[in-house]
């Protein structure tokens, strides 16, 4: 088989993400309503903000907006995580970042599978936030062993899907016909199944330990529990959701509303309560399960370690003011807006203070200047020879993810698990190290500077 006969991973990823979106729209009709609302809001924003439209066109960010999605799944075993890594590799998706959600009362740790190259991100930045249940956090030894036995007995991938993964690894690619089969077979892993694989009594015991444990252990596979489109105005979507018959969560997770967005803001609609049938020796027992929901996100600029430290300090201040103590709690949104006023809200200040990452490019003046332009990046920016655009944050925030999980599991638990972060264990189960997302952003910025200096005929500094 010649390399030219293979379909690129970007195309496989796009085909899979579209198929998943179609499947989820059928399974959760409110997702389709949400997609329509987000599209309308995005069109409205771009029609009313010609500067943003021009910036997104120049940065080649506009075409990806309509196809952009992230999903989330929850796995039960190291073998499932390792195999999922191999399956996502077929689509050009690599594990980026490590997230320990146990500190926020959710017994999982996670990574995000996503494309990492700039060209691949522009094509389709599909991401899947993938969590692994930490069985050691189940305090009841008998229940912990029972959960482990249940998970060990299941197989979440079809034989055809794994055969095509092996063929991809062996041959270096898939043909178009193989891709079509791969997408169809891989989709089965993420499909909703209304039949539980456990009895009602076992489900209740798992549920009492933690709702998320019941969701991971009680079914034959890790059904996709949400798909998330990207909006350019999450506050507008939040306000309009009730007009479309959708009930949003009470508050938007992440930083305050800003003129220049940073990192990630997320909201969601309440999880569906769905009918399920429990396994039984006799007739199946009817029950209810709450897991799947709709989510929306607004992405901003990626922050440097200095910027992230400031963000974390301000968010911790907000949480201390609104969650601590025994007296009346101040309004969360008002407190968030007030505290986050300390974070600069213009891109140039963020850039000059080293708080965020930017992609540099030559302006029209810079393209004609050559050696005649001033020396140094700052001088080139000030003279108008260089322009800069924010590098979009492609990753996640553990506190926000936990907030979404807790809200949609209908849990207000503030439990903290007495277990250390376990990145080494996670990477062992994964079968490779996770990629440092900060290093990716730093290299994107550095590469853009090198390219600009090369075009100007200067040695990269």
Specify whether the CB–CB gap between 235 and 253 falls below 8 A: no
Q: Where are the domains of the chain?
A: 3-193+212-247+416-430
pTM: predicted TM-score of the whole model, two decimal places:
0.89
Please indicate whether residue 164 or residue 287 has the higher confidence score (pLDDT).
164
Residues 262-274 have pLDDT tens digits of 999 998 877 667 7
* Mean pLDDT over each residue of the chain, to the nearest integer: 87
User: DSSP states of 339-383 as a string?
Assistant: HGGGS--SHHHHHHTT-B-EEEEE-HHHHHHGGGSPSSHHHHHHT
What's the rounded Cα separation, in Å, for the pair 346 and 366?
Answer: 23
pLDDT, residue 176, reads: 95
Q: In terms of Cα–Cα distance, which of 215, 205, 223 is closest to 144?
A: 205
Q: How far is CA 33 from CA 176, 245, 295, 376, 400, in A?
A: 32, 9, 12, 50, 24
User: DSSP states of 95-135 as a string?
Assistant: EEEEEE-GGGT--EEEEEEE--SHHHHHH---EEEEEEE-G
CATH code of domain 3-193+212-247+416-430: 3.10.180.80
What's the rounded Cα separation, in Å, for the pair 461 and 453?
Answer: 8
pLDDT, residue 301, reads: 97
Residues 46-67 have pLDDT tens digits of 999 998 898 888 878 888 888 8
What's the rounded Cα separation, in Å, for the pair 338 and 387?
Answer: 31
Q: In terms of Cα–Cα distance, which of 147, 233, 211, 243 is closest to 406?
A: 211
What's the rounded Cα separation, in Å, for the pair 252 and 243?
Answer: 18
Q: In terms of Cα–Cα distance, which of 277, 274, 295 is closest to 286?
A: 277
Long-range contacts, stretch 269-275, CB < 8 angstroms, 24+ apart: 269/30, 269/34, 269/241, 269/293, 269/294, 269/295, 270/407, 270/408, 270/410, 271/408, 271/409, 271/410, 272/28, 272/30, 274/194, 275/194
> Who contacts 347 (Cβ-Cβ below 8 Å, separation ≥6)?
260, 301, 356, 358, 388, 390
What's the rounded Cα separation, in Å, for the pair 295 and 318?
Answer: 23
pLDDT of 401 > 90? The answer is no
pLDDT, residue 412, reads: 47
Lowest mean pLDDT among 41-50, 322-331, 363-372: 322-331
Please indicate whether residue 249 or residue 219 has the higher confidence score (pLDDT).
219
Q: Which residue has the tokens 């596979």?
A: 221
Q: What percent of the chain has pLDDT over 70?
A: 89
Q: In terms of Cα–Cα distance, which of 86, 107, 276 is closest to 192?
A: 276
- Helix, strand or coil, per DSSP, at residue 418: coil
What's the rounded Cα separation, in Å, for the pair 444 and 357?
Answer: 8
Specify whether the CB–CB gap between 301 and 347 falls below 8 A: yes
Count each helix (H run) and each strand (E run) in the chain, helices first.
19, 11
């Amino acid at each position: 088989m010649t390399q030219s006969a293979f379909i690129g991973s970007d195309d496989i990823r796009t085909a899979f993400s579209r198929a998943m979106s179609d499947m989820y729209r059928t399974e959760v009709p409110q997702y389709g309503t949400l997609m329509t609302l987000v599209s309308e809001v995005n069109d409205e924003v771009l029609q009313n903000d010609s500067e943003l439209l021009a910036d997104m066109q120049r940065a080649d960010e506009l075409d990806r907006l309509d196809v952009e999605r992230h999903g989330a799944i929850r796995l039960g075993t190291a073998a499932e995580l390792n195999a999922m890594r191999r399956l996502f590799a077929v689509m050009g998706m690599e594990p980026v970042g490590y997230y320990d959600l146990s500190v926020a009362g959710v017994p999982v740790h996670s990574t995000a599978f996503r494309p990492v190259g700039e060209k691949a991100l522009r094509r389709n930045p599909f991401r899947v936030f993938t969590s692994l249940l930490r069985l050691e956090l189940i305090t009841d030894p008998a229940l912990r062993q029972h959960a482990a036995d249940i998970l060990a007995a299941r197989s979440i991938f079809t034989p055809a899907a794994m055969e095509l993964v092996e063929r991809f690894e062996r041959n270096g690619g898939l043909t178009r016909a193989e891709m079509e089969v791969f997408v169809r077979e891989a989709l089965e892993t993420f499909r909703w199944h209304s039949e539980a694989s456990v009895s009602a009594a076992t489900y209740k015991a798992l549920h009492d330990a933690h709702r998320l444990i019941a969701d991971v252990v009680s079914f034959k596979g890790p059904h996709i529990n949400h798909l998330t489109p990207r909006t350019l105005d999450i506050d507008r979507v939040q306000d309009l959701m009730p007009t479309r018959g959708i009930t949003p969560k009470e508050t938007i997770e992440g930083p305050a509303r800003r003129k220049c967005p940073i990192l990630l803001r997320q909201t969601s609609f309440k999880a569906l309560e769905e009918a399920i049938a429990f396994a039984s020796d006799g007739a199946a027992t009817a029950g209810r399960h709450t897991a799947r929901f709709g989510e929306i996100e607004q992405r901003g600029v990626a922050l440097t370690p200095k910027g992230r430290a400031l963000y974390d300090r301000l968010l911790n201040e907000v949480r201390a003011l609104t969650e601590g103590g025994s007296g009346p709690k101040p309004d969360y949104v008002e407190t968030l807006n007030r505290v986050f006023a300390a974070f600069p809200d213009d891109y140039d200040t963020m850039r000059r203070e080293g708080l965020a990452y930017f992609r540099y490019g030559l302006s029209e003046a810079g393209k004609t200047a050559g050696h005649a332009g001033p020396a140094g990046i700052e001088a080139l920016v000030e003279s108008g020879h260089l322009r800069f655009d924010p590098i979009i944050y492609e990753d996640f925030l553990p506190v926000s993810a936990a907030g979404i999980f807790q809200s949609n599991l209908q849990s207000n638990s503030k439990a903290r698990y007495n277990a250390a972060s376990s990145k080494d264990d996670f990477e062992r189960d994964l079968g490779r190290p996770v990629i440092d997302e900060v290093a990716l952003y730093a290299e994107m910025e550095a590469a853009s500077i090198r390219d600009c200096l090369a075009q100007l005929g200067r040695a990269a500094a």
